[in-house]
Amino acid sequence: GTWQFLAVRLFQATEDGTVPIQNSIDDVESFFHVATWIALQHTSHGLTPQALKSILNNNFDASAHIDGRILATEARCLNMMTGALIRDAMFKNRGISAVLKGMSATLRHRYTLEEKPEGDDKRLSVWKVTNQYRLDVLEELEDRQWLEKLLRRFLDDQKIDWQTEGERKSTETPLKYPLLGK
């Protein structure tokens, strides 16, 4: 996939230095990044044009290069763990906001799970209790129909107003995508 939309996990080397193998949950996270980018570019939200340009650059265009590998920015990693980008964007369309917040709230658990302790039964028991919710959420992501179910839940919710509210704000200048030659 296009590196700007890859799952954060795929930028992280494993203990033996190899790149993780992409899986279906990485594909869902990539869809989340694409949907977020589209929503930021083409829907109404509470960001100023300058803030929008900065967020798009920091989360999708900026990168670090180490040993020939592209790494996700700190902003992108933090946003996956906290959901701050979706929360702070203040999308005017309630449906888009609900879907992106729902996806973010689930996907962030991929990056907030505490490391499993080795050996000590008491520490392992405490780890299981404190991380059980996260483990349950991560198990839900294994369901290949998870995204469809999430979308259906919000699309079927009569309380969610899918009407676009407000004018779209765009960046002052077009963004450049070096990999696309534009």
Q: What is the pLDDT of residues 107-145, one digit of tens each?
A: 999 888 778 888 778 888 888 888 888 888 889 999 999
Across the chain, mean pLDDT equals 85
- For residue 181, the model assigns a pLDDT of 47
- Distance, CA of 61 to CA of 73 (rounded, Å): 9
- Distance, CA of 155 to CA of 152 (rounded, Å): 5
Identify whether the C-beta of residue 100 lies closer than 8 Å to the C-beta of residue 83: no
- For residue 176, the model assigns a pLDDT of 52
Supply the Cα-derived Rg of the chain in whole angstroms.
18
User: Which amino acid is residue 34, in one-letter code?
Assistant: V
Question: Collapsing DSSP states into helix, strand and coil, what is residue 119?
Answer: coil
User: Which amino acid is residue 32, in one-letter code?
Assistant: F
Q: What is the pLDDT of residues 38-66, one digit of tens each?
A: 999 999 999 999 999 999 998 998 877 77
